[in-house]
Structure 1
Amino acid sequence: MDSNLIAPVGVLGFGVEGQSTFDYLVRNGVKDIVVMDKNPVNLPEVPAGVNVKVCSGESYLDGLKDCVTVVRSAGVYPMSPALFKFQMNGGLMTSQIQLFLEQTKSKKVVGVTGTLGKGSTVSMISHILTKCGVNNEIGGNFGVPALDLLKDETADRVSILELSSFQLMTLSLSPDVAVVLRVSTEHLDWHQSVEEYRDAKANLVRWQKRDGACVYLKDAAPTAKIASESPAKTKYAVSLSDDGDAVIEGATLTIDGTKLYLEDCKVRGIYQLENMAAATLACKALGIKVADAFEALKSYETLPFRMEFKGEKKGIEFFNDSYATRPDATIAATASMKRPFALILGGSEKNADFTELSQILVNERPNLKRIALIGATAQRMLESLLQAGLKVTANIFPTLEEAFADSLNIGEGGTVIMSPACASFGLFKNYKVRGQVFDKLVENV
C-alpha cells in the first residue's frame, strides 16, 4: 500500500478512470473512500468493511472536507479554488499516472504526448516490441486506465502510456522514455492559456533521470522547447532536414543509415512517417535494432478511423479519417492525397479557427476537386473557404449520407476522404459512430 494514500481517500470524477481508481483503492485495502462526481454515481458492489460516501450534484466538491488524500481523474481541472483550498489546508492531491509511476515494477515506462498522433505512435511502439518479442502493455489515455496495468504486472514488461495534458498537468515524475510529438494548441476550453497547456505537456520530460531518453520533433518549435527541459542525456531528434537522428525526406525515413519506404508499409498518409520515426527511436532507446523496428512497421496496420484506407470501388479510393476532429489533423491527412479528391468536412462547433485549413485547402491542394460540408460548422467553414478564394464545388448537406453521395461525383480515378476537422456531436454520438456510418456507405457503393 502506498504511503501517500492516507485515508479517507477521495475519488474525484467517477467515469472510466475514477471507477478504475476505486477498484485500485479497494484492492489495496483502503477502508474509507469518498466518491465525488457532478453526475449521478453508480457504485459497484462494495466489499464488507469498506465505507463509501458519495457526493454528487452541484455541491459534489463538499466531499473534499471528508478527505485527507484525493485521486483526481484526468478530466477534473486541478487548479480550481476548491482544490487549491483543499491543498492549502494540508490535503494531498495525486492522480492515476502519478500513482502508477510511483509503484510500477515495469522494467521501463514509455510515455507519449503531443496534440496529434499519440494513439498511432503508442500502438506502433507496441507493435514493434511485440514483433521483437518484448512483453508490453498499453495504458493511460489509450487502452486501459494506468492503475489497471498494475494488476498483473511483471518485471520484464515495458509499459507504454499515452498521456494527455490533463493527465500530465500535476505530475512530479516522468517516464524512462519520453516521446514528444507535434504540439499545437488544443483544449483551450479547459486550460487557461496556451502556456499552461504546453507547460503541462513538459511534465512528461521535466522529471526524467539522466539515464532516460527523450524523443522529439526538432522542426516543431513548441515540441523542441518542451524537449529542452528534459535532463536525460539521450535525446533523439526527428527532422525534416538532414541533421536529425531520424530524417524524413519525401516518403522515406532514414535512421542510422537504414531506410524505410512508405510504399512498403500498410499505412497511408505521409504524416505517419513522423509517428513511425518517433516510435522507432523510442524502441531504439529500449535496445531494439532499427532494422528490426522498420521490418515490424511494414506489417503495422493503422488504427480504425485514422486515415484508414477502405479500399477501391468503381475506380474510387476511400479513406476514413473520422478521428480528425481538429483542423491540423485534416491538413495532415489531405497532404497525402495523390489523386483528384472529394473531401467531406464539418461537424460540431468547438469554435476552432478554420483560416489556416481553408488557405491550405485552397492554395496548396491542387487536386482537391469538390467539398461536401455537414454539421453545425458547415456554414462557417464554407464562408472561410470562400474568403480564402475557393474555386471548386462546395455544398452543404443535412446528412453524411447525402454528402457521401455528392462526393461520389469525383468519379473513376478519384478519391473520397472523410476528414471532418471537427468533432461529431450533434449528428453522431462520437467519431467512432461517424466512422462506422462512413464504412457502411463505402460497403454499399
Structure 2
Amino acid sequence: MMTNWNGTRTLILGAARQGIALARWLSRHGSNVTLSDSRSLEQLASARESLADTNVTWAAGGHPLELLDTTDVLCLSGGVPLTLPIVQEAVKRGIPLSNDTQIFMEVVPCKTIGITGSAGKTTTTTLVGKMAQRTKDEGGRMKDEESKNSSAVQSIHPSVFVGGNIGDPLINYVDDMTADDLAILEISSFQLEQMTISPNIAAILNITPNHLDRHGTMEAYTNAKARILEFQTEKDTAILSHDDKGAWNLRNKVNGKLLTFSLYDLAEGLNGAYMHEDGLLSLRDGYAYLPLMLREKIKLPGLHNVANVLAAFTIGHAAGFKLDAMLEAVEEFRGVAHRLEFVRELRGVRWYNGSIATAPERSMADIHAFDEPIVLMLGGRDKDLPWDEIAKLIHKRVDHVVLFGEAAELIQKAISAVGGERSVDLRRAEHLKEAVALAAEVASAGDIVLFSPGGTSYDEFKDFAERGENFRKWVQELS
C-alpha cells in the first residue's frame, strides 16, 4: 500500500479514461508521472490537452523497456494485458503493479461497496447507486456495519459516489470524500488482478466464461474475481449468487458475513433476497423476514435482470438502505444504456441495443429475455470463448441471424455445425452499419431486432459504448 506518493516515479500504461484520471491524481500528489501509450502523439492530442495543466511526461508510440529504469510503480489501465513485455519485465525486476482502483481503495476515507461478475455488474451497480441516492435524499439513517450486534446507527451518507469500471473513475473525486460518504464501485477482473484491498461489502454476481483471451483459463479468471473477497475482515460482508456455481463455490473464501440471492426459495440457514414461486421477491436475515415486491413491478426484461434486482436488494440491505428507497428505485429503474436498451419501433419491429453483451453467455441471457420472434445481430471480436451453446439456443429460438465483424465466420461455423429441425437464416456483413441495414431487410412486424453481439467492439470501435451509440444512431436513421 502507498499513502505518500510525493517524489515517487510512476509509469502508467494506457492513456484512456482510467489512465488519464490516475495520472492527474498522482501528479497532483507529487508523483513524477510518465504516461505511456501505443498511439502516436498526434493521436493522443485530446488526452494530452486534458493533462496540459500537469507535469505528466508522455511516452508515445509504444512501451520501451527502458522506461522501467526510472520507475518505482507500474500502473495498468483497464484492458492492458499482463502479457505485454514491459509488464512481464516489471514483474521480473520486482516493480510493484497497481491501478486506479487499487490506489483509490488505499486512500478512500469512507465505506465501500464493490460489485463484480461476468454479467450484470453495470446494471446492478447503477441500481444500487440509485437506491443509495434515494436513501440519502429521503434523509434516512443507515446501520453502522461495524456494530452489527447493536442498535447503533450513523447519519445518512452526505454523498454517494458511483464509478470504478463504469462512468468516471472515482480517483477523480477521492480527495473530496469524507468518512460519512459511500463509494459504490463496479470492479472488473482486470482491476482485481492488481488489488490487495477488498471493499466493505463485496458482491460476486456470477462467474461464467469471459475474458479467456486475457486470463487464459477459467481457473485464472475465477481467481481474479475471488480477490474481491480475499482481503475482507470479519467485519465485512460478502454477497454471492446462490444460483451461479462459479460464485457460490467461493463461499469458503468468505471472511465475514455471508449473504446470498436466488431466483428460488433459499434453504434454511441462508440469508438474502430470493423469489417465491408466485413471483414475490422477499428478503430474509436470521429471524427477520421481509416481503419486497412482485416480479411484475420490475421494468427490466428477462429473468437475469430479476437476479440483478435481487442482488441489489441484498447489497442495499447489507448497507442499511431504507426499504422505501430501494423499492422506489427498482420500480422506476429502466436500465442503463447499451443493456437491452429499447431504441425505437419501426413498422411494428422493436429494436433493442445490447452492445454491452461481449460474451456469448451474455447474449444467451438477452435472447431468453424475449418471447417474440428474434432477429439476432452477433459479431465483433472473439475472446476465445465457446460459441456452441449459443448456437444450440439459436436453433431453438432465433429465426434470423445477422453476423458482422471479425468473428462472423467463426460464429457462422458454430451455428452451421449444430443440427436441428429448425432452419436459421444466416446473413453476413463486414461492418455494423451494413448489418443494421440487413437486419432491417429481414425483420417483420412483431419481430424483435436484438443487437447482442457476444464479441468485443475492438475490431471496429474503441469500446462497447461507442459501438452502441453508433448502432442507436444507424437505427434511428432507418426509414
The offset of 1:290, in angstroms, is 4.0
Tell me the CA shift for residue 188 of structure 1: 2.1
In the alignment, which of 171, 174, 178 is matched to residue 198 of structure 2?
A: 174
Letter in 2 for 1:372: V
Cα distance in structure 1, aligned partners of 2:378 and 2:308: 24
CA distance in 1, matches of 2:86, 2:414: 41
In structure 2, C-alpha distance between the alignment counterparts of 1:389 and 1:90, rounded to whole Å: 53
Q: Which amino acid aligns with 1:407?
A: V
Q: Provide closer, same or farther for how the CA distance between residues 35 and 238 of structure 1 changes in structure 2, counting only shifts above 3 A.
A: same
Does residue 202 (structure 1) correspond to residue 226 (structure 2)? The answer is yes
1:75 maps onto 2:105 in alignment: no
Instruction: Within 5 Å, give how 1:149-298 maps onto structure 2.
Output: 149-232=173-256, 234-243=257-266, 245-248=272-275, 252-256=280-284, 257-298=290-331
Would you say 1:378 and 2:408 are equivalent positions? Answer: yes
Distance (Å, rounded) in 2 between the aligned partners of 1:71 and 1:211: 30
Unaligned runs of 5+ in 2: 137-156, 285-289
**What is the distance in 2 between the residues matched to 1:110 and 1:144?**
16
Taking a change above 3 Å as real, the CA distance of residues 66 and 432 of structure 1, as seen in their structure-2 partners, is: closer
* Cα drift, residue 351 of structure 1: 4.1
Q: Secondary structure at the match of 2:260?
A: strand
Secondary structure, in 3 states, of the residue corresponding to 1:216?
strand
2:102 equivalent in structure 1: 98
Q: Secondary structure at the match of 1:381?
A: helix
1:217 Cα deviation after fit: 0.6
Contact 2:378–2:452 at 8 Å: present in 1 too?
Answer: yes
Which residue number corresponds to residue 5 of structure 2? 5
Residue pair 2:374, 2:399 contacting (<8 A) in 1 also: yes
Deviations 1:198-255 (A, max 9, x none): 11111111111211111111121211123431201x2111123311522235765332
* Contact 1:382-1:394 at 8 Å conserved across structures: no
Aligned to 1:271, what secondary structure does the other structure show? helix
Match of 1:400 among 435, 438, 444: 435
Q: How big is each residue's C-alpha offset from its partner over 1:163-187, in whole Å with a ceiling of 9 and x where there is no partner? A: 1111111211100000101111222
Task: Give the secondary-structure state (helix, strand or coil) at the position aligned to 1:370.
Answer: strand
One-letter code aligned to 2:193: M
Report if the CA contact (8 A) 1:262-1:270 is conserved: no
Give the 3-state SS of the residue equivalent to 1:277 in structure 2: helix
Whether the 8 Å CA contact 2:265–2:274 is kept in 1: the answer is yes
Task: Classify 1:36/1:373 alpha carbon distance in 2 versus 1 (closer, same or farther; 3 Å).
Answer: closer
| Deviation per residue, 1:262-297 (Å, 9 max, x gap) | 432332222111111111111111112445412321
Equivalent in 369, 373, 391 of residue 399 of structure 2:
369
Aligned residues: 434
Matched-pair contact (CA < 8 Å) for 2:355–2:453: yes
Q: 2:378 and 2:331 mapped to 1: Cα distance?
A: 30
Q: Secondary structure at the match of 1:171?
A: coil
Conservation of the 8 A alpha-carbon contact between 2:36 and 2:62: no
- Out of 101, 118, 121, the position equivalent to 1:118 is 121
**How far is the alpha carbon of 1:394 from its aligned partner?**
1.0
**What's the CA shift for 1:401?**
3.2
1:136–1:158 contact (8 Å) kept in structure 2:
yes
TM norm structure 1: 0.88
- Counterpart of 1:238, as a letter, is F
Spell out the pairing of 1:426-437 with structure 2 (5 A cutoff): 426=459, 430-437=463-470
| Distance of 2:345 and 2:83 partners within structure 1 | 50
Give the Cα separation in 2 of the matches to 1:376 and 1:77.
Answer: 20
Q: Could you list the runs of 5+ residues in structure 1 that have no partner in the other structure?
A: none
Which amino acid is 1:304 matched to? A
**Contact between 2:36 and 2:63, CA under 8 Å: does it hold in 1?**
no
User: How does 1:312-323 map onto structure 2 within 5 Å?
Assistant: 312-323=345-356
- Relative to structure 1, the CA distance from residue 440 to residue 252 in structure 2 (aligned partners, 3 Å threshold; closer, same or farther) is farther
Q: 1:402 and 1:212, CA in 2 relative to 1: closer, same or farther beyond 3 A?
A: same
Structure 1 residues 408 and 5: alpha-carbon distance in aligned structure 2, compared to 1, 3 A threshold: same
Q: How does 1:27-106 map to 2 (within 5 A)?
A: 27-30=28-31, 32-40=32-40, 43=48, 44-45=51-52, 53-58=57-62, 60-78=64-82, 83=87, 86=90, 91-106=95-110
In the alignment, the residues of structure 1 paired with residue 95 and residue 437 of structure 2 have an alpha-carbon distance, to the nearest angstrom, of 55
Q: 1:375 to 1:74 in 2, by over 3 A?
A: closer
Partner amino acid, structure 2, of 1:404: A
1:33: Cα distance to partner? 3.2
Any conservation in 2 of the 1:65–1:86 contact (CA below 8 Å)?
Answer: no
Deviation at 1:395, TM superposition (A): 2.6
Higher deviation after alignment, 330-339 or 11-20: 11-20
Within 1, Cα distance between the matches of 2:89 and 2:409? 44
Matches of 2:84 and 2:475, distance apart in 1: 46
- Residues in 2 aligned to 1:80 and 1:6: alpha-carbon distance in whole angstroms: 28
Q: CA deviation at 1:313?
A: 4.2
**Alignment equivalent of 2:362, drawn from 325, 329, 346:** 329
Pair 436,19 (structure 1): closer, same or farther in 2 beyond 3 Å? closer
2:135 alignment counterpart: 132
Cα gap change, 1:442/1:85 in structure 2, threshold over 3 Å: closer, same or farther? Answer: closer
Q: TM-score under structure 2 normalisation?
A: 0.82
Matched residues in 2 for 1:26 and 1:434: separation? Answer: 32
Q: CA deviation at 1:53?
A: 4.9
Q: Specify the SS of the correspondent of 2:455.
A: coil
Q: More displaced, 267-276 or 247-256?
A: 247-256
| CA positional deviation for 1:359 | 1.1
Given that residues 7 and 30 in structure 2 are in contact (C-alpha distance below 8 angstroms), is that contact kept between their aligned partners in structure 1? no
Q: Secondary structure at the match of 1:403?
A: helix
- The amino acid that maps onto 2:135 is C
Letter in 1 for 2:441: D
| 2: CA distance, partners of 1:336 / 1:101 | 36
